[in-house]
Copies of this chain bind each other. A is one copy, B any other.
Amino acid sequence: MPDSIMASMGGLRSRLSVFLAAWVAVRYFYSRRAVLYVPGDDTRKLNKALSLDADCIVMDCEDGVASNRKEEARVTIRRWLDEGRTSTSTSEWSVRVNSVENALSGHMSGCQKINLIMYIESARAVLNLPHICRKIEQLSSTAPFKPAALVFGSDDLCASLGVTRSDDGTEILYARQKLVLVAKAFHLQAIDMVHINFQACASVQHSGQIVDLIPDLDGLRKQCEAGARMGYTGKQVIHPGQIPIVQQAFMPAPAIVEWAEGLIAAFQEHQKIGKNM
């Protein structure tokens, strides 16, 4: 049983359709600080994800799976869920489906409400974002999903726009902030872009020196903090080593919690004595 369905939203004509049937969603609210992708056709990586502390684990049928492995991914995920493999995990388990337009997705039937996480990853989707959210909100009153979050699919968006992104992402600031604003206007979570920078790292193994790629954690931290300041509540993750940094960045800082508690106390005090702040 997955907790959420993730689907890319294109133009207004995109219809939602998913291939996994008869699930019942049991939780509606999830914190989604670190959203980790796992290829849906890779049993070893799915097993490993069980031991990871990501808030949301995405069993991917889309970009993370080669075209000729899509069927394998669907069968694997189906079996994985039917066998209740995720039942001991505290993470949210989500399925990312393929677009209806390329006929790779199937149909969802007979299930109760499931969380819907929407990918925004093209110029057209950013342009139509308010319409998409309005339409999904309407559909959700009768359809078996509940809109939960928007995901900023920045790399596909950059390709769609012809953008060459710099480290601070100034080139896509318009789209990144529009997404947060529309998300909040529709009471949705906003999940920020993937940090894709890795650094070469020499690791010594018994057979000699090997060069590994490890996540650029300093760059990741800065990008997390910038996103959190803009109002994003979580971030996509493609390497387990990114999870702790991301989770920390999307926790409210102790000073902020203290400040908020102080503010509430002061407000109540001022109300009592009839003087505004």
Q: Which positions in A face B, CB cutoff 8 Å?
A: 39, 63-69, 122-124, 126-127, 130, 160-166, 170-175, 177-178, 180-182, 184-185, 228-231, 233, 256, 270-271, 274-276
Whether A229 pairs with B69 at a CB distance below 8 angstroms is no
Give Cα A102 to B130, complex, Å: 26
In the complex, residue of chain B having the shortest beta-carbon distance to the beta carbon of A66: B276
Partner of A181, one of B67, B175, B229, B270: B175
Contacts of A182 in B (CB 8 A): 123, 127
Give Cα A106 to B41, complex, Å: 63
Chain B's nearest CB lies how many Å from the CB of A274?
5
Chain B's nearest CB lies how many Å from the CB of A118?
16
Whether B180 pairs with A177 at a CB distance below 8 angstroms is no
Whether B174 pairs with A161 at a CB distance below 8 angstroms is no
Whether A127 touches B166, Cβ cut-off 8 Å, given contacts A66-B271, A171-B229, A171-B230, is: no
Partner of A173, one of B162, B174, B274: B174
Copies of this chain in its oligomeric complex: 3
Chain B's nearest CB lies how many Å from the CB of A43?
14
28 contacts between A and B (CB under 8 A): A64-B276, A66-B270, A66-B274, A66-B275, A66-B276, A67-B271, A68-B271, A69-B274, A69-B275, A122-B185, A123-B181, A123-B182, A126-B185, A127-B130, A127-B182, A160-B184, A162-B184, A162-B231, A163-B180, A164-B229, A170-B173, A171-B230, A173-B173, A173-B177, A174-B174, A174-B178, A174-B181, A175-B181
Give Cα A230 to B271, complex, Å: 38
Contacts of A127 in B (CB 8 A): 130, 181-182, 185
In the complex, residue of chain B having the shortest beta-carbon distance to the beta carbon of A63: B276
Contacts of A166 in B (CB 8 A): 229
In the complex, residue of chain B having the shortest beta-carbon distance to the beta carbon of A176: B174
Give Cα A39 to B182, complex, Å: 33
Contacts of A276 in B (CB 8 A): 39, 63-66, 69
Partner of A161, one of B69, B122, B231: B231
Contacts of A180 in B (CB 8 A): 161-163
Give Cα A207 to B94, complex, Å: 66
Contacts of A256 in B (CB 8 A): 164
Give Cα A276 to B69, complex, Å: 9
Give Cα A166 to B63, complex, Å: 35
Contacts of A175 in B (CB 8 A): 177, 181
Partner of A229, one of B124, B165, B229, B231: B165
Sorted from nearest, which 8 A-B pairs have the closest CB atoms?
Answer: A174-B177, A123-B184, A162-B231, A123-B185, A161-B231, A66-B276, A127-B185, A164-B229
